[in-house]
Every structure is written in C-alpha cells, then in structure tokens.
Structure 1
Amino acid sequence: MSSLHLLLVLILICPQILIQAQQPYIRKANTDCTIRNVSTSVLGYACNGVNKTCQTYLTFRSKPPYNTVTSISKLLKADPTQLSQLNSVSETANFKTGETVLVPTTCSCLGQFYQANASYITQAADTPFSIANNTFEGLSTCHAIQVERTDLTSNIYTGSKLTVPLRCACPTEKQAAAGVKYLLSYLVTWGQSVSAISAIFEVDTGLTLDANQLSEQDFTVYPFTTLLVPLSNQPSRSQTLAPPPPPTTSSPPKPPPPTTTSSDHKWVYMLIGVLGGVGVTFTVGFGFFWFCLSKRKRTINHRPAVSSASQSFEAIEKPLVKNLDVDDESEFMESLNSIAQSLKVYKFDELKLATQDFSPDCLIKGSVYKGKINEDFVAIKKMHGDVSKEIQLLNTIHHHNLIRLSGVCFNDGHWYLVYEFADNGPLSDWIYYSGLNSNKSLNWIQRIQVALDVANGLNYLHSYTTPPYVYKNLKSSNILLDAEFRAKITNFDLARSAEGQDGQFALTRHIVGTRGYMSPEYLENGLISTKLDVYGLGVLILEIVTGKHVSDLSEKVNKNLSDILEEVLFEEDNKKLTDIFDPRLQGNYPPEIVMAVVRLTYGCLDKDPSARPDMNEVSHSLSRILTTSQATDMSD
C-alpha cells in the first residue's frame, strides 16, 4: 500500500487525527486578494475545535470614528456592556487613539470555518481590501468578505450592507487538554514578535507558536494579521495596558546545545575541513574568473570602469549609448526575440505617423514623445543600447501603479518603447512650491493617494514578482499621474533583481541613482535591498507633503532629513511643523493625521535599514492615513 493510500485510510478511520491540527498563520496572504488556497487560512480558521461554538476574544485598536465603547461594539457586533466591563471602563467611555481594546464575541463554526459575523455599510471608495485591512484592521480578509458577498455586481457600491467574517477560533482537543479555554485573536502591529505578544498575556511562547503552526525557526509575524493566543483565563485590560516587557533579541531563544561526544567532534572537524577546502577552491577560481573578466572589459572599453557617487542632486546614470557592430546587433535582436513575441511590434512608419514625424510639437521631455495610435494617446520613448532587461521586466509585471509597456519598435540602431500615456505628467510638476506655480497643486487627499499608489507599486515589485525586484530609481520625476491623478511608476532602467530573502543585502560597486533619494547604506557601501526603496519613498513622501525638493530640505536647512522630523516628533514643535509643510495645505489637515505621516516618514528614513518598515507595512499605514483623511474631509 502506498503512503498516500495509507494516509487516506488513516484519515477515514481516525478523523480525530484532524482535530489535533492547529491553525496556520496567515503570513502575507491577506495582501493578495487573488489567493484562494484555504491552507493559508485566508478564508478563516478551520473548524477543528472540540466545540462548534465558543466564547472568544478579539483585540481592536481604537481610532476615529471607532474610539468609543458604543462605536466599537456596533462595528464588531459585540455587547457594549460586556465590552465595557472587560475593559474596566464605563459604557460612555472614549478610548485613546491606538489603544488596544479587548472585544468579547461568540465564535461559531459556519461551514468549514470559524467566524464571528459583523455587519458593515459601505462608504465611498470602499473595496474588500480596504474594508478588511483599514476599517477592521485585519480582523477579516478581502477573501472572506468576497465569499460572503451575495450581490451580483463585481464592484462594491456606497450604502451596500456587507457581512464581514471576523477571524476567531475555538480550542482544539489538544489545546483543551493543556488547559486552554480561549483563543484570543490578537491584531499584530509594527515591531511585535510572538514572544512579546505572548508576554503581554503571560502565555508560554511555545504554546503560541504551536497554536499558529509556527516554530522557533519560522516565527516571523506581520502587521494587520491575527495571531491566536491560547489563554487559560479571561484576558484583562491590565494586560493590554501593562508596559512592554524588557527588550529581547529579534529571534526566539535558542534551545541549549546538545551534548557532544568525541565522535561528534570528529565529524565536525571533518566537515570544517571539507568546507574550508571548497571555500579556498571557490575563492581561487572566482579570483581567476574576475581577473579574466576585468581584463576583457579593459580590452573592450580601452579604459578602466570607474564608479563614483555624484555630489550633486542630479541623477547618476550609466551611459545608454552603446555602439553595436553587425554581430552584436544580431545577438541583441536575438536576445529580445522571445520577449517581443508577447508584445506589439510597431513599424517605424506607424510611430512617425503617430508623432507627426517626431515633431518638436509632440516632444514631452528629453527623448519622450506624445503620440496617438488608434485614437489612444501613448508615450513613445527613444532609447539607445541594450534595453532588453527593462523590456523583459516591463513585459512580466502587471500592476496599475506601474507604467504599462504596450509595444516596441527597433529602427536604425534605436529602440522605441511605447507606453500608456499619463495625462497629468510627472509628479514633480505638481508638488514643488514656488510662488510661480501655486495654481498647479494637489490637495492633501490627492497627495496621500499618490504616496499610497507608489507604495503599492513598489510592494508589488518587492513581494509579488518572481524574482522580486528593487526599483532603485525613486524620485518625483519618475512618478507619472494619470487623468485621475493616480500614480504610475516609470523608468525601470536601474531596477535589479533582489537577491536572497526579504531584507538580505546584495553588494555592488556601481552606485547609480539620484543623490538625496539614495539610502546611506547604498551610497556609502553599495548595499542593496528592498529597504533602499523604502528610504527613497520616505524622501518622496517628505517632498509630497512639504512641497520642497530634497535638495532644499537638506541643504538649505543644513540638516539630515531624519533630524528635521525628529524635532517635529520629539519636541512637539508645531511651529517647526508649519515651517516645513507646504503652505498651500495649511488648515487642510488635522494635526493627528500629519503626525501619523511624520512618524511613518521618520521610520522610512531610519539610517539602519533593518529598522525601517517593509513596503507592505508602509502601504498599510498609508492606506489607514488615507481612510482617516477621507473620513475627516467628509465630516467637514
């Protein structure tokens, strides 16, 4: 009998085996609304508990307009009396913004999954993603909301009533035997770990890891996700208000090393010897290869390659012009043959017709022309040299915040890339304040929406492409605005594949980019990771809300960007906040929203790349800021 048949037989004979299984942690699956794999628990926690219905608890972080006992109870369909008693407050009490609120609820097995149902009336611009992650803070998912929808339309219309399944679970037989009475659905926020969350509720870290199918080797948790915390007693407000435990290392404590015998040591020494030999061989071989490669480059270019960082705020770019002989051109065309199979290949005459023979009247900027093909406007960029990597990347990415490449043309040694047209041009035309262009401006909500669009586009490159990419070229002139002022990232010539795991660094000696936007670790040491883009986005957000170019911010103020924000954050100096923010926005935003932007930007500009949030966290934070801004704007 095969192992598969044996497994099926065991499942049929012993269904109690399944009841021992714990719940899988959702990880980052909540950010991809196309996932339908139930093993990721995106639709809810499986009904594998002893009871089909049980008392359980959720956490929720207070925020306007959900910052009172009444409003939180109504949103999460909880009993206000029980909620007030659990949190030791009156039924008329207000919670501070960001305060953790304990919410009692009844969890029931409906179909395959546990859930506690809440009701929600949709607002303008709501989507399943924003409802799940902004309004309900991650207590539900876009996947679960889509499943519950009963209307026949693909869009969500204002005023619709939705059932929102809240994530909850009941203890399994194994957990009940260990004394677990409740499974609390805890909302993870920035900088938290399994051990820190367990310490809040005085729970053994191992039990929490086990409840979420995590381990000491695989323990990473993310904001806007729920972590099940097994409790033997009802939670109390004193736990959520308690000061955080002393700082610990970022990873769970390692188990004590096993005792070793002399035989074990012998194997260790043999392994070290073998690895050492392999390392020496690899080093010698790599050195020889590098020597040959360098020699070949010197022969071709007749000069050594020199990489240096410009001291100006202008772009540091590698040369695009590259002379190709007949053989090189043939190889170049062959390398792009497979790519062009799935792209529209235009005839040069078509592009001439579209641009009135590349008339100066159609010139947008540099070598980019506005054209019209089949009644649709396009942007046609004339390029030189090997552009195969950029075309290959643009041909494989599909995201509404990344510029779309619709076709290519090759003529007389030049490449012409045909892009979708962005009606309102580069962001740089809209955000910088000088008394001359004050009429061409964006309001507060438009600016936050642009920042969110850029973050979403970068998050797609970091987390949802294979392999992941680092953009490396973030600046306001590389962000285009369409007719609705939604942002699209363009110019991918400097993008490169991100090597290793999230946050792991690659190394380069060729520093390219725009000084001012480049992160310290990249500019000084050539270190590359997705955190490089996070730093660049922090600079861009600062430009967006201040109306000042990065050169003005750092040179005229004569301070590091993070130092400027530090004064605003920690000295609570409102005058300094007024001084640096765009005067065209004065009075258009509440101080608490501004401070949320300042805190986020300050985190993005941290000199330590490991301390910066990842792009997924930045996207979530900006989405929350946008939602709050819209709610404030509607109430005015």
Structure 2
Amino acid sequence: MASFYSVNTSQIQPITRDDSKQDYLVSVPCSCKDVNGTVGYFYDTVYKVKPGDTFLGVSREFYSGQAWQIATEEQLFVAGDTITISLVCGCLEGAGREVVTYTVQDDDTLTKIGELLSANVREIEDLNEKMTKNPNYIDIGWVLFVPMGKRPVASEAPKEGKKHNLPIIIGIALFVTLLSMSMVVLLLIRRKRNLRKIRGDLEAVNGSPSANKISLQSQFLQDKYMEGVASIEFERPLTYSLEEINEATNNFDESRKIGEGGYGTVYIGVLKEREVAIKKMKFSQSKEFFAELKALCKIHHINVVELLGYARGENHLYLIYEYMENGSLSDHLHDPALKGHLPLSWTARARIALDAARGIEYIHDHTKARYVHRDIKTSNILLDQGLGAKVADFGIARLVERSNEEQVVATRLVGTPGYIAPESARELQMTSKTDVFSFGVVLAELVTGQRALIRNSQEPDMMKSLVSV
C-alpha cells in the first residue's frame, strides 16, 4: 500500500469501522496545480505499468477510482513504463481543520460517516450542499468532503516545516475538480477486501405491456460476487451461453478485436448468421454492465446502438450489440488514413451531427424515463455502413425523473476531460444540459478535425480544451 501511494508506512493510519472492518488514512502533501487543463488540488504518485493494465483498471484496483484521467490516458499506458498518477484532494477554505475527502461505501449514512471521522453531520451537509439536498439519501461512489473532528487515536504522520496534513478518502470511482485553496490531505483507503467485491446494481425496469418480454430472475444471483441483484425485465435482449460467445469470436481471437477502452474490450463476432459486436468486461465492471442493460433494454431508436443480448462467464460479463461497420466518429476525424478511412465530406459531417443530435434528444425527451448519458464524445458515436450515426456506450448513464424543472443528478465527476461542462466539474452535478455541452464539443471536432483536448502551443507539456481555443 505504501509503495502505491509513494509514502512511508508511518504515514498510514488504520481506522476500524463499526463492522470491525478496517480502512486506512494516508497522509500526503497535495498542491494546487493544472492537470491537463483542470486546475485543482492533486497529489502525484507513480505506478509501473504491467502487461494488460488499463488506466481505469489500475485506478479502481489500486487507487479506488480517484485517479484523474485525461482523454489520451489509455494510449499512454505502455507496459514497463513508470507513469505519474494524479489523485484528487479535498480541502476546506479558510480553516485550519482537517478535511477528509470521503467516498461513500456500502451501507453508509451521514451519521455513520460522522461517527467514523468524529465529524458533525450538519457541517458535512453544509460543506456538501450540492450533493446532499436530500441528506437521507447518499449513493455508493459519491464523494463527500468531511470536516474531521479529533483525529482517531493512532500515530500521526510526521510534520515537515509549515506543511499540514489533511485527510482525503479513496473509495470507489471518483474524479473531482476542486476550488483554489492551499491544503494538504490524507487519503483514506478503502479496505482491500471490498475492492474485488462486486455489488449488484440492478433495479427493476418496467417494460411496455405490449412488448414481448422475457422476465429474468438473473442467474447472477447464484454467483457470490453478485449481491443484491434485483429482477429485471427485458423487452428485446436475449441471454447467450458462453459457448455461443466463444464460437462467435473464435475464442476471442486477437484478430477479432476491434476496440479497447476503460470499460472493456470489443470483438467482432457472428451470432445466428449476423455480425455483432461483443464487449468483454471484467466482473469488477458489473456496475457499468448493469447500467447498460437498464438503459438499452428500454431505449429503441434508429440513432441509438441496439443491445441484442448478454452473457456471462467464469470471470467476465459480455454485452452483445449490433455491429457498426464504420467504427467510431473519432476514427474518421483523427488520423483517418492510419485507420483505413477517407476524410469525411461536409455533407457526411452534417448528417452525422444531425443523427447524433436525434439520438441524444430521444434519450432526453422522448422516452418514458429521461436518461443523462454523461459521456457523449466522438468515440461513443458509431457509424454504420452508410455513415449513419448512433449514440453508444451507456455504461455511466443515469436515469432522472421527468418533471417541469430540469432534474439535477448529484454525482461523482465522470466522463472524459475535454467534454465535461465546467459547471459540472465545479458543482458535481449533471443534467441533460451536460450532454448538450459535450455534444457541442463533438460539433467543434466535426468542424475543425481537432481533438477535444489539444496541446497548448505556449506550454507544450500541457493540454487545453478545444472549446477554449
């Protein structure tokens, strides 16, 4: 643990919870800096990349999901390299008290968090007013800033000069942009035992009465990793056996691989004489797996990629989609010749923009339940044989209630830097307008051919957003 966070063991302090399970506070010095266009408080550590590592996989397994990611991070993940991992920090303006950046865990309440860190619940609410409009409801993965009272009894980290030690918690997945303040933090590391534990995140989804439904009492209930999985009704997707999936992809032959990202690897296959795209995901990505099931089994539109089915194996989960022959919009905009594509004509670009806009409008305004996609970008807009566009990858989509007022989703900061609306980064909130901002960045890429994050000509080591050019 100490090596992952580049600290001495004396900087690590165990904290025992009421359930007798153990967490850890790690004292680290944070500083205000610009990390690829985002100004905030970060702590840098180093990690040596191993074969098969992905940025999100390492972030979740070793850093509890709190590493700040840039759009090109996966491209920089080369086995054998030693890279810098920037971890987010929490702080409190104008106070000498320690503030813990805490990631909500299973069965947490504000009262339990307050007791764990000797904090006042009212102060937690005041410091997190954007995320605790209903203080009785907090969700796993949310980040809360907790003004800690008396430090739990244990050896404290050594002090150097005028530096101060303040706390932050590393829990599940979490990316935060912070205000400009001069602080140092502690990291509370979630117990290792739970890093490999999969929490089922399936909620009941009601389908159309006229639809041909297949009610699935999920077979995952028998798996020890799938706790709390509820029943779900699918209108269209079918369940496939692992044997069918292996046969379709020739046992996931490398020659069948057509894409790879933080949420899985995609292969082309043939199922029942139809070409399909099969996403292979680790069990640790079950949250994204269920999010896509919940969303796409209810969304059917010509400009949204169709989910055909799913499967499970010993260590992996699989989602089966319609195959999009021309890959992603990103492939056609950025170095198309290297990927076997001709440059897009202006007519094709205009049509792609309209198709993507219709898909986004549909999930916002024309479904029974409104969805916020939260990761609209060129690599999540796929093109069919005729260059028709469809919105894809609903792994972090969120359901919101439909009302006369804009529904706000209190959230950890997710999405891809360069596409995230500034107010979402500041306030940790997302609405359908957040997707509209991201789509605006996509339009800028369509017009200019440049990426969402580009090299700063004045500071070559820094990146800046295309929309600020």
Give the TM-score of the pair, scaled to structure 2: 0.50
Name 1:425's counterpart in structure 2: 327
CA apart distance, 1:501: 3.4
Measure, in 1, the Cα distance between the counterparts of 2:329 and 2:446. Answer: 9
Partner of 1:308: 175
Distance change in 2, residues 1:330/1:291 (3 Å):
closer
Q: In the aligned structure 1, how far is the partner of 2:372 from the partner of 2:137?
A: 27
The answer for the alignment partner of 2:379 in structure 1 is 477
> Which residue type is aligned with residue 307 of structure 1?
L
Match of 1:352 in 2: 246
Equivalent residue number for residue 529 of structure 1: 431
Match of 2:453 among 542, 545, 551: 551
How many equivalent residue pairs? Answer: 268
- 3-state SS, counterpart of residue 514 of structure 1: coil
The structure-2 alpha-carbon separation of the partners of 1:437 and 1:342, relative to structure 1 and needing over 3 Å to count, comes to closer
Cα offsets for 1:241-284 (capped at 9, x unmatched): xxxxxxxxxxxxxxxxxxxxxxxxxxxxxxxxxxxxxxxxxx99
What is aligned with 2:268? 370
**Equivalent pair of 2:259/2:266 in contact (CA under 8 Å):** yes
Is the 8 Å Cα contact of residues 499 and 506 (structure 1) preserved in structure 2? no
Is the 2:326–2:384 contact (alpha carbons within 8 Å) kept by the matching residues of 1?
Answer: yes
**Which has the bigger relative contact order, CA under 8 A and spacing at least 6?**
2
Aligned equivalent of 1:517: 419
What aligned pairs does 1:5-84 form with structure 2 within 5 A after superposition?
A: none
Q: Pick closer, same or farther for the CA change 1:427–1:364 going to 2, 3 Å.
A: same
Alignment correspondent of 1:501: 403
Q: 2:334, 2:451 within 8 Å by CA — same for their partners in 1? A: yes
| CA spacing shift, 1:335–1:343, aligned 2, 3 Å | farther
Q: 1:400 aligned to 2:302?
A: yes
Question: In structure 2, what residue type is equivalent to 1:473?
Answer: D
Instruction: After TM superposition, give the deviation of residue 426 of structure 1 in Å.
Output: 0.9
Matched, 1:541 2:436: no
Q: In the alignment, which residue of structure 2 is the partner of 1:442?
A: 344
Amino acid at match of 1:359: D
Query: By percentage of residues, which structure has more strand?
Result: 2
Match of 1:361 among 238, 249, 255: 255
After TM superposition, list the pairs within 5 Å mapping 1:332-347 onto structure 2: 332=226, 335=229, 337-339=231-233, 342-347=236-241
Q: Give the secondary structure class of the aligned counterpart of 1:397.
A: coil
Alpha-carbon shift at residue 469 of structure 1 (Å): 0.8
Deviations 1:455-476 (A, max 9, x none): 0000000001121111110111
* Deviation at residue 394 of structure 1 after TM alignment: 0.6
What is the rounded CA distance, in whole Å, between the counterparts of 2:392 and 2:141 in structure 1? 32
Q: CA RMSD in A?
A: 3.9
Shift, 1:411, TM fit: 1.6
CA–CA distance in 2 between the matches of 1:503 and 1:289? 20
Q: 1:489 to 1:557 in 2, by over 3 A?
A: farther
Deviations 1:298-355 (A, max 9, x none): xxxx9545733479xxxxxxxxx85349978369488365335752111110111111
Secondary structure of residue in 1 paired with 2:223: helix
Separation in 1 of the partners of 2:140 and 2:412? 19
The percentage of counterpart residues that share the same residue type is 30
367, 372, 388: which one aligns with 1:465: 367
Kept in 2: contact 1:499–1:505 (CA 8 A): yes
Q: Which residue is 1:382 aligned to?
A: 280
Secondary structure of the structure 1 residue equivalent to 2:320: strand
**Corresponding residue to 1:323 among 168, 174, 197:** 197
Provide closer, same or farther for how the CA distance between residues 539 and 404 of structure 1 changes in structure 2, counting only shifts above 3 A. same
Q: Given that residues 505 and 527 in structure 1 are in contact (C-alpha distance below 8 angstroms), is that contact kept between their aligned partners in structure 2?
A: no
Report which of the two has the higher share of helix. 1
Structure 1 position 499, deviation (Å): 4.0
Give the whole-Å Cα distance in 2 for the aligned partners of 1:285 and 1:539.
Answer: 30
Alpha-carbon distance between aligned partners in 1 of 2:140 and 2:252, rounded to the nearest angstrom? 44
TM-aligned CA distance change 1:432 to 1:482, over 3 Å: same
Aligned-partner Cα distance in 2 for 1:447–1:349: 40
